[in-house]
Amino acid sequence: MHAGLDLLDRHVVDRDGRAVGKVDDLEIECAEDGTVEVTALLLGPEALGRRIGGALGRSMGGIAARFSGDPEPARIGLELVEELDIVIKLKHPLHQLPVGRFERWVREHVIEPLPGATDATG
């Protein structure tokens, strides 16, 4: 398995198939015996910005930090992963995961105030 080929930029969904985001980077940790393991998926513009690198990447991370007030990317520990396939499936539903702040903000402040926002269009 390869990180770039099989993990990075993959779509992540929750237990019920709802969109969580894309894998923008991976958190890795060194063990005492010198081996290095992937410990978490990292999501969000801060993670993506650091991966893109250069001035563009830094500005992406900067904008994201200013918006959310939190410079760290969303972290999903590897223990929360159910399946690593075409799509990465997590063990828990969205509301139990440390993600989705941007979506919730837009939902509360932009969409819900509009009439009919909760009606199904089918």
Partner 1 sequence: MRLADLLLSTAYDGSGDEIGQVHDVRLRHSMTPDGRHRLQIVGVSVGAGAIGARTGYVNGAVEGPAVVRRLMRWASRHAKYIGWNELRWDPDERRVDTERHAGDLPHPEDATPDG
Partner 2 sequence: MKRVLGLALGVFTAIGGFMDIGDLVTDALIGARFGLALVWVTVVAVIGISTYSEMAGRVATITGRPVFDLVRERTGPRIALGNVVVSYLVNALTLVAELCGVALALELLSDVHYLLWVPAVAVLAFVVLWKLPYEMMERVYGLTGLALFVFVFAVWQLGPDWGQMLSDVTRPSVPAGEGLPTYFFYAIVMLGAQMTPYEVFFFSSGAVEHEWDASQLLDARVNVFLGYPIGGALAIGIQAVAYLALQPAGIQVEHLGQTVLPVAIAFGKIGIALAVLGIVAATFGSVMETLLSSSYTVAQHFGWEWGKAKKPVEASRFTALTLLTLVAAVGVALTAWNPITITIYSVYLGAATLPFTYVPILIVANDRNYLGDHVNGRLANGLGVIYLVVVTAAALAALPLLIITKGGL
Residues that bind partner 2 (CB under 8 A): 8-12, 18-22, 24, 43, 48, 51-52, 56, 86-87, 102-104, 106-107, 110-112, 114, 116-122
Token output for 1: 């398995």
CB 101 within 8 A of CB 68: yes
Q: Which residues pair with 36 in a beta bridge?
A: 30
Looking only at residues 43 through 72 of this chain, which bind partner 1 when binding is defined by CB under 8 A?
47, 50-51, 53
**Among positions 17, 36, 55, 122, the unique one binding partner 1 when judged by CB under 8 A:** 36
* Partner interacting with residue 116 (select from partner 2, partner 1, none; CB below 5-8 Å by kind): partner 2
Backbone angles phi, psi at 35, to 5 degrees: -80, 150
* Partner interacting with residue 84 (select from partner 1, partner 2, none; CB below 5-8 Å by kind): partner 1
Cβ contacts of residue 115 below 8 Å, gap of 6+? none
Looking only at residues 86 through 115 of this chain, which bind partner 1 when binding is defined by CB under 8 A?
none
CB 50 within 8 A of CB 60: no
How far, in Å, are 47, 55, 69, 80 from residue 51 at the CA level?
Answer: 6, 11, 20, 23
Interface ranges with partner 1 (CB under 8 A)? 1-5, 7-8, 25-30, 34-38, 42, 47, 50-51, 53, 78-79, 81, 84
